[in-house]
């Protein structure tokens, strides 16, 4: 009994498996038939058949006595019979043809759509290839430019000469990495003792009392709390000069201004300049391995404080304040002095000397001066 039931089950499964293809074929046939306009097809073909059938009857009417006097047979005779039959046959044929077109119209429409789709894909393929090629070309051009910038940074780090520094500073200006065309660093470990900057200086080329163009040179500037005044000293760096010549001129100028002969670590100065410019460029590019500065860099203090055109940042002390939020200074109407409306708290881990210098620099850059009524002056 068990074997009989097993055989019966096997037979049912076989039957079901045989019926599934039949059902699928039946469904496909029904779907194929459903796409045709059978009402129009049958109507047009039947009408055309009946009209064509009428072509056999005029032969019995043309020339019949008593009937020939009625239009349109009034003007017809036996010689006109072929023409009448041809016209009726053509009309009937037109209806039958229309019916056949209605029959095959879904097939023709589908074929046209398939051909149009295939043609569109053929046209789209070269376009996609062109777009991919264009994307690759743009990406390669950008990568080449980044490579060129990195080579400029590396060249200045390896050799602090006029050409490499000029290219590096010009590059930083071109990519919008600097607040101006100048970068400030500290020459010594005592903030404010000697503040140095390298800047681009524009020189008008004059010929016969007319300006015929503009050239650029580098300028090394210095300001110090050790001098007798707040005068900013300057030494032009021409392409034919070595950095040692420019540095010597500046040391002598500082000594003449009252600072004495200073023992400035010029190797560290060169390193700080190149690192500051490299940081500005890489931060502007948003390199993943670099500090993200908010704004364009202006000055680096003690290698950890960054003054930009949008505020002050110090990732080491987790400190940041926007320039727009820097507290203003109000004039005291009674005493005639200046009062700060709100204090800026020093980070607890920050060096006091560094903070005093950084605060004074930012105060001069960002703090608004208000009169007793709260108006800017």
Per mean pLDDT, which of 7-16, 45-54, 203-212, 240-249 is the most reliable?
A: 240-249
Per mean pLDDT, which of 7-21, 24-38, 70-84, 253-267 is the most reliable?
A: 253-267
Q: What is the pLDDT of residue 296?
A: 96
Q: What is the CA angle 299-305-311, rounded to 5?
A: 70
Q: What is the pLDDT of residue 185?
A: 97
List strand residue ranges (DSSP E) for the chain, in order: 182-186, 194-207, 210-224, 233-237, 297-301, 305-308, 311-314, 319-322, 329-331, 338-340, 369-370
- Asked whether residue 229 carries a pLDDT value surpassing 50, the answer given is yes
Q: What is the pLDDT of residue 249?
A: 95
Q: What is the pLDDT of residue 63?
A: 52
Lowest mean pLDDT among 86-95, 221-230, 252-261, 264-273: 86-95
3-state secondary structure of 243: helix
Lowest mean pLDDT among 124-128, 283-287, 354-358: 124-128
Q: What is the pLDDT of residue 131?
A: 61
pLDDT band of 32, cuts 50, 70, 90: low
- Asked whether residue 220 carries a pLDDT value surpassing 50, the answer given is yes
- Name 214's bridge partners: 204
Tell me: the pLDDT tens digits for 303-317?
A: 999 999 999 999 999
Q: How far apart are CA 168 and CA 157, in angstroms?
A: 10
**Global pTM value:** 0.64
**Average pLDDT for residues 190-202, to the nearest whole number?**
93
Q: How far apart are CA 179 and CA 297, in angstroms?
A: 6
Q: What is the pLDDT of residue 33?
A: 54
Q: What is the pLDDT of residue 4?
A: 41
- Asked whether residue 244 carries a pLDDT value surpassing 70, the answer given is yes
Mean pLDDT over the full length of the chain: 80
Lowest mean pLDDT among 2-11, 160-169, 217-226, 330-339: 2-11
Q: Residue 195 phi/psi, 5° resolution? A: -105, 120
Q: What is the pLDDT of residue 5?
A: 38
Q: What percent of the chain has pLDDT over 70?
A: 73
Q: Which residues contact 27 (CB under 8 A, 6 or more apart)?
A: none
- Name 47's bridge partners: none
- Asked whether residue 66 carries a pLDDT value surpassing 60, the answer given is no
Tell me: the pLDDT tens digits for 98-156?
A: 777 766 776 677 777 777 777 776 666 665 566 667 777 788 788 889 899 999 999 99
Residue in the block written with tokens 């300057």: 234
């Amino acid at each position: 009994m068990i074997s009989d039931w097993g055989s019966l089950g096997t037979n049912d499964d076989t039957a079901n498996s045989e019926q599934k293809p039949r059902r699928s074929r039946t469904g496909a046939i029904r779907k194929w038939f459903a796409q045709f306009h059978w009402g129009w097809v049958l109507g047009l073909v039947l009408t055309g058949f009946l009209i064509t059938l009428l072509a056999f009857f005029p032969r019995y009417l043309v020339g019949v006595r008593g009937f020939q006097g009625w239009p349109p047979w009034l003007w017809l005779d036996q010689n006109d019979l072929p023409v009448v039959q041809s016209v009726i046959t053509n009309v009937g044929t037109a209806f039958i043809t229309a019916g056949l077109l209605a029959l095959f119209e879904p097939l023709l429409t589908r074929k046209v759509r398939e051909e149009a789709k295939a043609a569109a894909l053929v046209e789209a393929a070269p376009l996609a290839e062109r777009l991919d090629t264009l994307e690759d070309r743009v990406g390669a051009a950008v990568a080449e430019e980044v490579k060129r910038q990195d080579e400029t940074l590396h060249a200045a780090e390896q050799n602090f000469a006029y050409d490499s520094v000029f290219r590096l500073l010009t590059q930083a200006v071109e990519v919008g990495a600097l607040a101006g065309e100048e970068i400030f660093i500290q020459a010594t470990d005592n903030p404010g003792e000697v503040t140095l900057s390298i800047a681009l200086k524009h020189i008008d080329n004059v010929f016969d009392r007319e300006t015929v163009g503009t050239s650029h040179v580098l300028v090394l500037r210095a300001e110090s709390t050790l001098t007798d005044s707040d005068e900013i000293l300057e030494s032009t760096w021409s392409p034919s000069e070595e950095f040692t010549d420019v540095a010597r001129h500046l040391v002598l100028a500082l000594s003449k201004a009252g600072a004495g002969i200073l023992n400035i670590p010029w190797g560290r100065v060169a390193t700080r300049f190149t690192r500051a410019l490299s940081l500005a460029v890489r931060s502007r590019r948003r390199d993943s391995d670099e500090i993200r500065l908010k704004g364009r860099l202006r000055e680096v203090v003690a290698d950890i404080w960054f003054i930009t055109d949008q505020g002050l940042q110090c990732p080491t002390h987790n400190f940041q304040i926007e320039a727009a939020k820097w507290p203003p200074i109000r004039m005291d109407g009674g005493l005639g002095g200046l009062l700060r409306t709100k204090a800026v708290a020093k980070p607890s881990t920050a060096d006091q000397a560094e903070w005093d210098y950084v605060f004074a620099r930012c105060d001069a850059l960002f703090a608004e001066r208000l009169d007793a009524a709260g108006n800017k002056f």
